[in-house]
Amino acid sequence: MKKASILEVSSLAGVSPATVSRVTSNAAPVRETTRKKVLAAMKELGYQPNSAAQSLSSKRSNTLGMIVSHLDGPFYGPVMSGVEETLRKLNKHVIIASGFAEEQAEKEAVDFLMARQVDGLILLTEGLDSEYLKDLEKRIPIYLINQHVDGLEIRNMYLDNDDGVYQATRHLIAQGHKDIIYIAGQEYKQDANERVAGFKRAMREAGLTVTGKQIVHTSFEVEGGIKGMQHMVDSGTAFTAVVAGNDEAAFGVYEWAARHGYSIPKDFSVIGFDDILMSNYVSPRLSTMHFPKYDMAKACATMAYQEIYNKKLPEGIKFKTDLVIRDSVIELK
């Protein structure tokens, strides 16, 4: 069974190739009886449209490009998964490239995918600035996950970072904590700063003072959590609870605690952000803010599909986090 072409199908069905194309693409009306004939012929020959030919002729690749900072990492996996799954059901393809969170590499990834004639670009990047993106948007539909760009709001899938950490902090406060420290992500990262803002807001609203001493910028990594804790202790800042910029940093806090003989949550409470898979399996199980990564990815893929292939106007969505209470936070006596 070698590859059959549209021509063979058409002759076997006794119609023109154009008609076959009409039934495969579902783009024009076809009499029900002829449709059946064609479908039968397709099945008999095991016909699969040649996508290169389709692309060449239709000027569409039926493929979306996706760029993520890293192919590994607990955060990107679920996002890729959601995008791929959604698009596959819609019979579209994804080509994923990694950008390593570096401007140069991410731009190369863009070029790489553009050369591939992708119909749109889903971007979960960190090194592409607003100028570049606005420019890019003129050439191809783009969809941004986790990055806010003025003027591109409608193509933005966004998380309410501020509100998320606000909730997390309030949870701590509700448990009686007053001396709370915050281990923030990289200062140049948008989301890191929004989260810091949520922390400050919650603290002030509760009548608690927040000075620079209670916040340290490190990174969204295990190492960042470790360093952050060390910094706080070195600087003599007292605390009964720590909110980590993300779960990985929270694991760093755990690690620091283990190294120095502290017990969580007995000695101090910890809350994270993202709700990555591992968070449910560390000891103590990490209380955190659930980031609806998967839903966000699906929404993003759907939005892209709708705009590109169905001419619907895109509409940005702002997602909210949910508090996931587990075992790493206890009431302060």
The answer to whether 246 touches 185, Cβ cutoff 8 Å, is yes
Question: What is each CA distance from 238 to 16, 182, 210, 267, in whole angstroms?
Answer: 80, 12, 13, 12
Residues in region 56-75 near a copy of itself by CB under 8 A: 56, 61, 63, 70-74
Q: Which is nearer to a copy of itself, 284 or 316 (CB)?
A: 284
The strand pair at 142-145 and 156-159 is best described as parallel
**Which residues lie below 8 Å from residue 184, measured CB to CB, with a gap of 6+?**
192, 193, 195, 196, 215, 216, 217, 218, 228, 245
**Facing residues of 123 across strands?**
67, 144
DSSP letter at 14?
T
283 binds, options DNA, a copy of itself, none, Cβ within 5 to 8 A by partner type: a copy of itself
Q: Is 8 in the site for a copy of itself (CB under 8 A)?
A: no
HSE toward the beta carbon, residue 89, CA cutoff 13 A: 8
Length of the chain: 333
Could you identify the residue written with the tokens 């940005």?
Answer: 316
The answer to whether 84 touches 22, Cβ cutoff 8 Å, is no
Binding piece for a copy of itself, criterion CB under 8 A, among 88-96, 181-189, 196-204, 267-275: 88-96
Q: Which is nearer to DNA, 35 or 134 (CB)?
A: 35
The site for a copy of itself, by CB under 8 A, has a size of 46
Q: Is 16 in the site for DNA (CB under 7 A)?
A: yes
Residues in region 90-149 near a copy of itself by CB under 8 A: 93-98, 112, 114-117
77 binds, options a copy of itself, DNA, none, Cβ within 5 to 8 A by partner type: a copy of itself
Q: Which is nearer to DNA, 9 or 264 (CB)?
A: 9
Q: Could you give the string, one character per residue 49-78, with x where binding to DNA holds by CB under 7 A and - elsewhere?
A: xx--xx-xxxx-------------------
Q: Which is nearer to a copy of itself, 182 or 251 (CB)?
A: 251
19 binds, options a copy of itself, DNA, none, Cβ within 5 to 8 A by partner type: DNA
> How near is the Cβ of 89 to a copy of itself at its closest, in Å?
11
Could you identify the residue written with the tokens 């060449």?
Answer: 56
Helix (H) or strand (E) segment spanning residue 251: helix 247-259
- 275 burial type by CB count under 10 A (0-12 exposed, 13-18 middle, 19+ buried): buried
| Closest to 302 measured CA to CA, from 86, 106, 99 | 86
Binding piece for DNA, criterion CB under 7 A, among 10-18, 64-72, 90-98, 210-218: 10-18
The answer to whether 141 touches 130, Cβ cutoff 8 Å, is no
Q: Is 30 in the site for DNA (CB under 7 A)?
A: yes
> How near is the Cβ of 37 to a copy of itself at its closest, in Å?
22
Q: Which is nearer to a copy of itself, 113 or 142 (CB)?
A: 113
Q: Which is nearer to DNA, 41 or 149 (CB)?
A: 41
**Facing residues of 184 across strands?**
217
Coil vs helix vs strand at 41? helix
Q: Which residues bind a copy of itself (CB under 8 A)?
A: 48-53, 55-56, 61, 63, 70-74, 76-78, 80-81, 84-85, 88, 93-98, 112, 114-117, 222, 251-252, 254-255, 258, 277-278, 281-284
Residues in contact with DNA by the rule CB under 7 A = 3, 5-7, 14-22, 24-25, 27-31, 33-35, 47-50, 53-54, 56-59
